[in-house]
Structure 1
Amino acid sequence: MGRPRHILVIRLSAMGDVAMMLPVLKAFTEKYPDVKLSLLTRRFFTPMFKDLPNVQVFEAEVKGRHQGLRGLKRLSSELLDLKIEAVADLHNVLRSNILKFFFKLKGIPVRQIDKGRKEKKALTRSNNKVFKQLKATQQRYAEVFDKLGYPVDISAVQVLQKQESTENLRAVTGEKAEKWLGIAPFAQHASKAYPEDLMKEVLQELQKGQNLKIFLFGGGKEETGKLAAWEKTFPKAVSVAGKLSFEEELALISNLDLMLSMDSGNGHLAANFGVPVISIWGLTHPYTGFAPFRQPATNSLLPNLQKYPAIPTSIYGKDIPKGYEEVMRSIPPQKVVEKIKELLGRS
Structure 2
Amino acid sequence: MKHSLPACPRHIGILRLSALGDVCNLVPTVRALQRQWPEARITWIVGKAEYSLLDGLDGVDLVVYDKATGLKGMRAIWRQFEDVRFDVLLHMQQALRASVLSLGLKCDVRVGYDKARAKDWQHWFTHRQLAPHPRAHVLESFMDFARLLGVEDTRLDWSLPVPEAAYEEARQLTGDQPYLVISPCANPRLRNFRNWSAEGYAAIIEHAWQRHGLKTVMSGGGSPLERDMGEQIRRLCPDIEIIDAIGRTSLKGLLALLDRARVVIAPDSGPVHMANALGTPTLGLYATTNPDRAAPYCWRNQVVNRYPDAVRRYLKKTVETVSWGTRVRHADAMALITLNDVVDHLDRLMAATDDTALAEDATEPSHEG
Normalised by the length of structure 1, the TM-score is 0.81
CA contact (8 A) 2:291 2:300 kept: no
CA contact (8 A) 2:302 2:349 kept: no
Matches of 2:81 and 2:91, distance apart in 1: 14
Aligned to 1:224: 227
2:344 to 326, 331, 338: 338
State the AA in 1 paired with 2:156: V
Matches of 1:152 and 1:99, distance apart in 2: 30
2:198 to 196, 199, 218: 196
Whether 2:325 is the aligned partner of 1:319: answer: no
Alpha-carbon shift at residue 337 of structure 1 (Å): 1.5
Residue 63 of structure 1 aligns to a residue whose secondary structure is: helix
CA offset digits 1:309-336 (Å, max 9, x no partner): 536678374733xxxx423222211220
State the AA in 1 paired with 2:101: L
Instruction: Return closer, same or farther for 1:310/1:293 CA change in 2, 3 Å cut-off.
Output: same
Aligned to 2:305: 301
CA contact (8 A) 1:43 1:58 kept: no
Alpha-carbon shift at residue 248 of structure 1 (Å): 0.8
CA offset digits 1:167-217 (Å, max 9, x no partner): 332111111x33x22111112354211122322232233342352121212
Residue 67 of structure 2 aligns to a residue whose secondary structure is: coil
CA contact (8 A) 1:183 1:214 kept: yes
Whether 2:49 is the aligned partner of 1:44: answer: yes
Matches of 1:21 and 1:254, distance apart in 2: 19
Instruction: Return closer, same or farther for 1:77/1:311 CA change in 2, 3 Å cut-off.
Output: farther
Whether 2:244 is the aligned partner of 1:242: answer: no
Aligned-residue CA RMSD in angstroms?
Answer: 3.0
Aligned to 1:116: 116
Aligned to 2:335: 329
Instruction: Return closer, same or farther for 1:8/1:60 CA change in 2, 3 Å cut-off.
Output: same
Residue 68 of structure 2 aligns to a residue whose secondary structure is: coil
Matches of 1:32 and 1:161, distance apart in 2: 19
Matches of 2:260 and 2:82, distance apart in 1: 39
Aligned to 1:167: 168
The count of residues paired between Structure 1 and Structure 2 equals: 321
Instruction: Summarize the alignment of residues 238-317 of structure 1 with structure 2, pairs less than 5 Å apart.
Output: 238-287=243-292, 289-302=293-306, 305=309, 308=313, 310=317, 315=325, 317=327
Alpha-carbon shift at residue 136 of structure 1 (Å): 1.4
Could you list the runs of 5+ residues in structure 2 that have no partner in the other structure? 1-5, 120-132, 354-369
Could you list the runs of 5+ residues in structure 1 that have no partner in the other structure? 120-131
Aligned to 2:356: none
State the AA in 2 paired with 1:201: A
CA offset digits 1:52-79 (Å, max 9, x no partner): 3211210102222xx12x5424422313
Say which is worse superposed, 138-147 or 12-21, in terms of deviation: 138-147
CA contact (8 A) 1:91 1:113 kept: no
Normalised by the length of structure 2, the TM-score is 0.76
Matches of 1:340 and 1:159, distance apart in 2: 25
1:79 to 67, 78, 81: 81
Aligned to 2:185: 186
State the AA in 2 paired with 1:27: A
Instruction: Return closer, same or farther for 1:162/1:76 CA change in 2, 3 Å cut-off.
Output: closer
Say which is worse superposed, 264-273 or 72-81, in terms of deviation: 72-81
Residue 305 of structure 1 aligns to a residue whose secondary structure is: helix
Aligned to 1:126: none
Alpha-carbon shift at residue 225 of structure 1 (Å): 4.3
After TM superposition, the runs of 4+ consecutive aligned structure 1 residues lying more than 4 A away are 161-165, 311-314
Matches of 1:290 and 1:328, distance apart in 2: 16
Residue 220 of structure 1 aligns to a residue whose secondary structure is: coil
Matches of 2:101 and 2:223, distance apart in 1: 34
CA contact (8 A) 2:219 2:244 kept: yes
Identity of aligned residues (%): 20
Matches of 1:213 and 1:89, distance apart in 2: 42
